[in-house]
Structure 1
Amino acid sequence: MTTRRIDVLDVLRGVAIMGTLGTNIWIFTSPAGPEGLLDALGRTGTVETFLRFLANGKFLALLTLLFGVGLELQYRSAARRGAPWPGWYLWRAGLLFLEGLIHYVLIFEFDVLMGYALTSIIVAYLIGRSDRAVRAWMITVGSVFAVLVGLVTLALAYGRAGMAPPAAAPSTLFSEGSYLDQVAARIELVGVYRIEAVFIVPMGIVLFLLGSRLMRAGVFEESGRGAALRRKLMVIGFGVGAPLNLLTSFAGETWFLVDRYLLPPLVALGLLALVTTLVHRMAGAPGLLRRGLTNVGRTALSCYVFQNLAAAALCYGWGLGLAAEFDELRPWWVVAAWAGVCALFMALSTLWLRRFERGPLELVWQWAYTAPQSHLRTNDKVMDNSIKR
């Protein structure tokens, strides 16, 4: 890939990471934390509903597409080196799952890394197959996924129409509970909090494969077929996906799954095309915003994990406890909290990359990935020398 296209991917990753915080910040700033997520959907005002619409699911889908692009790059690298595939990529997936598990237990209930790890193992065996086979997988899995979302949505509508659940006392775990109390709750309620994987994995299979194929189709090329493809994606994303997604955002909590998993991927295609086009059209040295997004993209794993930790420390009772203190100032203080955390990590990632090539978690992760290979190569050399003797 050219340096220009690598820059585009870094900016896109930065946008996706900051955008996922735009969804998660509504969870952190709720006094009830994750436990108040679904209850809040039915009683938010017009302004908050619109602000949630801007981020909900769209940047998760964009990040998922970019994971597919990354998987395509890994596949190409292995092919160039003549290395077996998926080979050591499965070890990468295992490390990603471990990273996600630690992130889930210690920091955040709705970690996506574990789901991405499982998805990447499946897609690793599909990515090198023919375009016809990949299309068949995408259509089949996508259709099953859409039916699943539709059936659950109908069940939610029928259940809410048939009976009103009794009002529950608001939870104080996240406004007053200790850090260890929250860790214990994540372990105890793992089946509840990890149910999202039922939706993340099939959606991920489709979007991983789509990201791979979009790259092969030249979506990141500056002109020619890349520009034409991006125009089509923007029509799909902003002309079709965004208006429908806006309707479901205001349709109530019954449409939560459609609003988060089914329509946002369409909008994400438009976002991918728009950001890529804007970066290609920028001339001269990058400005402050673009540099910040690029550096967040280069340290994406670290920023994803640590921005959630920072938001938890800002909002939860074991930290500054601002979620309960500023609840009356919603939704505007939520926007300010998101912007502040984003600015913080743009600055921190920039300062870190002045001294190091990778982010802190990326350095640990790279060591964990390469150490076993180095050990095996050393053992092979020792065995070769022994045989020669």
Structure 2
Amino acid sequence: MRSDSLAAPTPSSDRIDAIDVLRGIALFGVMAINVVMEFRVSIFDQFLGPETLASPIDRAVEMILTQAIELKAFALFSLLFGAGLAIQFDRLAKSGRRTALLLRRLAVLLGFGIIHLCLIWNGDILTEYALAGFIMLPLLFGPRWLIALVALVSLALYLVMQDFPPEGLFPSRAVIWRDVTDANRIYATGGFLDVLAFRLRELPLVASLHAFVFLRTIGLFLLGALAWRSGLVQNTRGLFVIAFPAITLGAALLYGGMEPLGTIVLALGYGAAILGIANFARGKRLLGWAAPLGRMAFTNYVAQSIVFGWIFYGYGLGLFGRLGITEAVAIGIAVYIAQVLFSAWWLRRYRYGPLEWLWRSLMYGARQPMAVGKAAAV
């Protein structure tokens, strides 16, 4: 058998269900923050000062989102992406095409990200993930100590940037104010072409936000890879040894005013706790509903952008700027529940989500079978 014949997608039976569960749960946090802070209002609105909330319920929901979920969900997603890339790297070890396949995988993701960023929603994270993946990939050939060192250096530099941001990285308050003013008008009432033109005009501002967190993304990618390489992902006892101290320390750092570091530590604690629970048989039954959603996270993430764009922008229902936080979260939960049900239904019939299938087919250069039970093309 040629080594290339081993270069095929991971069979469903070989997937690590706990990782899919964690990815599905993390997607809820990403969705909640996106719908409240980036679809309901301009993402730059937060830089002009705190929103005035008349409703006590809105204030309570906002506190939960900002303290318990906000950047922690995105950090979890970054950890999972890094672990996923490391898993593929190791499973393709006997293939002579490993590097070419993974470079193609990241290039295809970059293409998807640019399409998503420009045509659907400029809050996209796929582009940033692809670029960070290109930086991470060579390090996977190195030893664990090198991965750990680069991860720590990347995160340390990110934390230093919090107090000493590079000059000129962020736009002035006047520029942000003009952008938010235009967003309130165009996103709420503009047609598709109006929204598209404004979305493209915002890209330099959006790029500054990605530049500010790019080192954190790389560091978390590498921590995710390290968790896989060290065997921690499936070490239930080790996960619980990490989980509760990390959650406690992360919460203490947050309330002690060290939010950037606290966010990272708390995300590590969340991830370890959920993975640990999902490794138990009873935990699988409790959290198993999230696994199909996690297996189709790519499709569901992009689908959320399309649905929320139609709900909030002027070419759809035009609810931008008109809803409170609680109302927006309720809409997000309804969409999320629909995706949970749809993902379970879809994966009973097909091996991959629609975008996952397309991504794999382009990566391997061969049409992958969709129906459950068929062998993959190689």
TM-score between the two structures when normalised by the length of structure 1: 0.80
Letter in 2 for 1:27: M
Letter in 1 for 2:341: A
Aligned to 1:303: 300
Tell me which of 222, 244, 261 is aligned to 2:253: 244
Distance 2:39 2:249 in 1: 31
- What CA deviation, in whole Å up to 9, does each residue of 1:32-57 have, x standing for no partner? 43343433635457424313222211
Tell me which of 309, 312, 318 is aligned to 1:312: 309
Aligned to 1:251: none
Tell me which of 355, 366, 369 is aligned to 1:361: 355
Q: Secondary structure at the match of 1:317?
A: coil
Q: Secondary structure at the match of 1:41?
A: coil
Indicate whether 1:196 and 2:209 are aligned: yes
How large is the RMSD of aligned CA atoms in angstroms? 3.2
Aligned to 1:232: 242
Tell me which of 48, 71, 77 is aligned to 1:63: 77
The gaps in structure 1 that reach 5 residues or longer are: 249-257, 375-389
Q: Secondary structure at the match of 2:282?
A: coil
Letter in 2 for 1:151: F
Distance 2:309 2:120 in 1: 8
The 8 Å contact of residues 115 and 201 in structure 1, kept in 2 or not, is answered as yes
Aligned to 2:266: 267
Aligned to 1:386: none
Indicate whether 1:205 and 2:202 are aligned: no
Distance 1:207 1:285 in 2: 26
What displacement does 1:356 show? 1.2
What displacement does 1:229 show? 4.1
- What CA deviation, in whole Å up to 9, does each residue of 1:129-188 have, x standing for no partner? 1223223212322222211122139999xx99xx9x989857211111122212111222
Distance 2:340 2:367 in 1: 33
The 8 Å contact of residues 23 and 80 in structure 2, kept in 1 or not, is answered as yes
Distance 1:119 1:284 in 2: 32
The gaps in structure 2 that reach 5 residues or longer are: 1-9, 369-378
Aligned to 1:38: 47
The 8 Å contact of residues 11 and 297 in structure 1, kept in 2 or not, is answered as yes
TM-score between the two structures when normalised by the length of structure 2: 0.82
The 8 Å contact of residues 302 and 360 in structure 1, kept in 2 or not, is answered as yes
Distance 1:202 1:285 in 2: 34
Indicate whether 1:21 and 2:31 are aligned: yes
The 8 Å contact of residues 16 and 63 in structure 1, kept in 2 or not, is answered as yes
What displacement does 1:270 show? 0.8
Cα distance change on mapping 1:221 and 1:155 into 2, 3 Å: same
Distance 2:248 2:325 in 1: 27
Indicate whether 1:73 and 2:67 are aligned: no
Indicate whether 1:332 and 2:329 are aligned: no
Q: How does 1:1-389 map to 2 (within 5 A)?
A: 6-30=16-40, 32-39=41-48, 41=50, 43=52, 46-53=59-66, 54-79=68-93, 81-83=94-96, 85-152=98-165, 169=181, 171-222=184-235, 226-236=236-246, 238-246=247-255, 248=257, 259=259, 262-283=261-282, 286=285, 290-325=287-322, 327=323, 330-371=324-365
Q: Secondary structure at the match of 1:126?
A: helix
What displacement does 1:85 show? 4.7
Q: Secondary structure at the match of 1:88?
A: helix
Q: When the two structures are aligned, how many residues end up with a matched partner?
A: 349
Letter in 2 for 1:313: W
User: Percent same amino acid among aligned pairs?
Assistant: 26
Distance 2:181 2:319 in 1: 20
The 8 Å contact of residues 68 and 212 in structure 1, kept in 2 or not, is answered as yes
- Which protein has the larger Cα radius of gyration, Structure 1 or Structure 2? 1
Letter in 2 for 1:364: L
What displacement does 1:22 show? 1.4
Distance 1:154 1:97 in 2: 28
Tell me whether 355-364 or 274-283 shows the greater mean CA deviation. Answer: 274-283
- What CA deviation, in whole Å up to 9, does each residue of 1:288-336 have, x standing for no partner? xx343111111110001101211221222221223444x3xx2321221
What displacement does 1:196 show? 2.4
The 8 Å contact of residues 188 and 321 in structure 2, kept in 1 or not, is answered as yes
Letter in 2 for 1:241: G
